[in-house]
């Protein structure tokens, strides 16, 4: 008899778990309260990249004359058309996921799933109808939502969440983004490119203050923001937002959270913008899920801890994706792999060896302008772990392809272990860095040395040559860099 598996949440973790569970012979039911694809497809990865594509194209049009293309007439963004294109793409992607699920014989239920008791989930449909669904194994993939700050809560008109930004029907004249992390930096470049005057406020000493992002990337990104006339306040927090006037009056103060021992004094403690976008984190969607009914433990505001097999504190109950919280890696592609592991383990017998999730080699992709791709350890992380390291950096401007496409801003940095010359980390900021990081990911996964990468032939003229260039420099035999 096949296992009955219920999965709550149809994002990149949940629907991938459903597909793998069905392929392994499980009787799978997937519960999703909104749209298939979760935050990534509907409110994150995909819609923001659709907007970035248009922003990139707009910038190219503005400099077309320099590239030998004459464009007559005005060139202006059209948010209505952009939003319509976005919705068409999202709809197509949702249909694609639904088709995949249907082809595997997976039952998809729309509504809110709540754990009623051991082995039983209560489904509340949109019309209020309640249905009990039985399970042998349960996978929780409910995800997160934008964090609301009590001092300046979302009003969805002048104080916006990252979700609100993705449905704007116009380009504001000015925008202040609270949070210089991944989401904040991506939106800063998109809206600046489309003609908005953007200010970024970050509580830490640098943009992208993430351990996995090397400080060299943050420095270069700050330089590129300044080139785009994006104002940046690091070591700074927002204490208050006044929405009573035509604009948002924003009060600033020195950050008590900064890691900068000597932060500079603020040049101003008040700024104003048409809107303020708050992009400083996510909060779990575990409330009301009924975890207490089966004894599943949570941490902090509701994160669900899970072991390497993705099992929670309760046997046969698994958790995957962003609901695991910042102790794990909150990325869509990580959620998908966690989904594979959870589904495989849910379908195994007690005596079978279990699948285990690995977090050591996870690529990061940040769609700023220029893009950032990271994998492995940063220089600071490697040193903290006790490695004796050597580093090498090469500018993208040395590549003929970068010159040809007029995208020369950027740098590749490689961190290697001095004794073995194994690659510990690669950090790229430059054109198509999010695609180029794949080679570095495979290299670190397979334990390759810088010499092995340097002796790998890279096609010319391509941006992929940056890996050969930086690897050659790392072994003391620089080519162009």
Residue 333 bears catalytic tag: no
Active-site residue, selected from the candidate residues 333, 337, 427, 460? 460
Q: Is the peptide bond before 370 cis (omega within 30 degrees of 0)?
A: yes
Closest CA relative to residue 366, chosen from 222, 204, 193, 186 = 186
Helix (H, G, I), strand (E, B) or coil at 47: helix
Q: What is the dihedral of CA 177, 183, 186, 192, to 10 degrees?
A: -20
Please name the residues in contact with 160: beta carbons below 8 A apart, sequence gap of 6 or more.
154, 168, 275, 276, 277, 278
CA gap 99, 210 in Å, rounded: 37
Burial class (CB in 10 A: 0-12, 13-18, 19+), 402: buried
Please name the residues in contact with 350: beta carbons below 8 A apart, sequence gap of 6 or more.
none
C-alpha dist (Å) from residue 434 to 186, 318, 373: 13, 30, 5
Extract the tokens encoding 283: 């909060």
Helix (H, G, I), strand (E, B) or coil at 160: strand
φ/ψ of residue 112, rounded to 5 = -100, 125
Count CA within 13 A, CB hemisphere, residue 290: 18
CA gap 328, 330 in Å, rounded: 6
Element (H, E) at 263: none
Please name the residues in contact with 86: beta carbons below 8 A apart, sequence gap of 6 or more.
47, 50, 51, 166
Find how far residue 226's CA is from the centre of its chain: 23
C-alpha dist (Å) from residue 46 to 51, 189, 408, 459: 9, 16, 26, 30
Extract the tokens encoding 131: 């249905």
Query: Which letter does DSSP use for residue 449 in this model?
Result: B
Query: Which letter does DSSP use for residue 65 in this model?
Result: G
CA gap 248, 254 in Å, rounded: 20
Show which residues are catalytic: 460
């Amino acid at each position: 008899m096949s296992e009955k598996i219920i999965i709550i949440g149809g994002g990149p973790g949940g629907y991938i778990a459903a597909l793998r569970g069905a392929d392994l012979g499980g009787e799978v039911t997937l519960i999703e309260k909104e749209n298939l694809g979760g935050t990534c497809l509907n409110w994150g990865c995909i819609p923001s990249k659709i907007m970035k594509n248009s922003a990139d194209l707009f910038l190219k049009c503005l400099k077309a004359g320099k590239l030998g293309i004459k464009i007559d007439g005005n060139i202006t963004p059209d948010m209505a058309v952009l939003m319509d294109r976005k919705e068409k793409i999202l709809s197509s992607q949702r249909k694609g996921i639904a088709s995949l699920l249907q082809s595997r014989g997976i039952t998809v239920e729309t509504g809110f799933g709540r754990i009623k008791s051991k082995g039983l989930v209560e489904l509340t449909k949109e019309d209020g109808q309640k249905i009990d669904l039985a399970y042998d194994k349960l996978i929780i993939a409910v995800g997160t939502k934008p964090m609301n700050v009590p001092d300046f809560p979302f009003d969805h008109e002048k104080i916006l969440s990252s979700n609100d930004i993705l449905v704007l029907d116009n380009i504001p004249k000015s925008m202040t983004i609270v949070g210089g992390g991944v989401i904040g930096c991506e939106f800063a470049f998109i809206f600046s490119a489309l003609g908005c005057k953007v200010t970024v406020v970050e509580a830490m000493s640098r943009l992208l203050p993430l351990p996995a992002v090397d400080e060299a990337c943050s420095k270069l990104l700050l330089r590129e923001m300044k080139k785009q006339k994006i104002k940046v306040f690091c070591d700074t927090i927002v204490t208050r937002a006044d929405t009573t006037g035509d604009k948002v009056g924003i009060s600033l103060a020195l950050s008590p959270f900064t890691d900068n021992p000597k932060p500079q004094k603020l040049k101003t403690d008040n700024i104003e913008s048409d809107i303020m976008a708050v992009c400083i984190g996510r909060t779990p969607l575990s409330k009301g899920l009924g975890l207490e009914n089966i004894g599943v433990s949570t941490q902090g505001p509701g994160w669900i801890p899970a072991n390497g097999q993705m099992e929670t504190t309760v046997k046969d109950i698994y958790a995957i994706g962003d609901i695991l919280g910042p102790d794990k890696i909150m990325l869509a592609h990580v959620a998908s792999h966690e989904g594979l592991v959870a589904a495989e383990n849910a379908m195994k017998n007690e005596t079978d060896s279990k699948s285990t999730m690995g977090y050591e080699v996870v690529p990061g992709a940040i769609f700023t302008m220029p893009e950032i791709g990271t994998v492995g350890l940063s220089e600071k992380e490697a040193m903290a772990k006790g490695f004796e390291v050597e580093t090498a950096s090469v500018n993208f401007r040395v590549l003929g392809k970068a010159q040809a496409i007029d995208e020369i801003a950027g740098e590749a940095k490689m961190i290697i272990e001095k004794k073995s010359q194994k690659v510990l980390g690669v950090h790229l900021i430059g054109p198509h860095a999010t695609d180029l990081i794949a080679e570095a990911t495979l290299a670190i996964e397979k334990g390759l040395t810088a010499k092995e990468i340097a002796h790998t032939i890279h096609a010319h003229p391509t941006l992929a040559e940056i890996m050969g260039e930086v690897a050659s420099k790392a072994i003391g035999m620089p080519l162009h860099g």
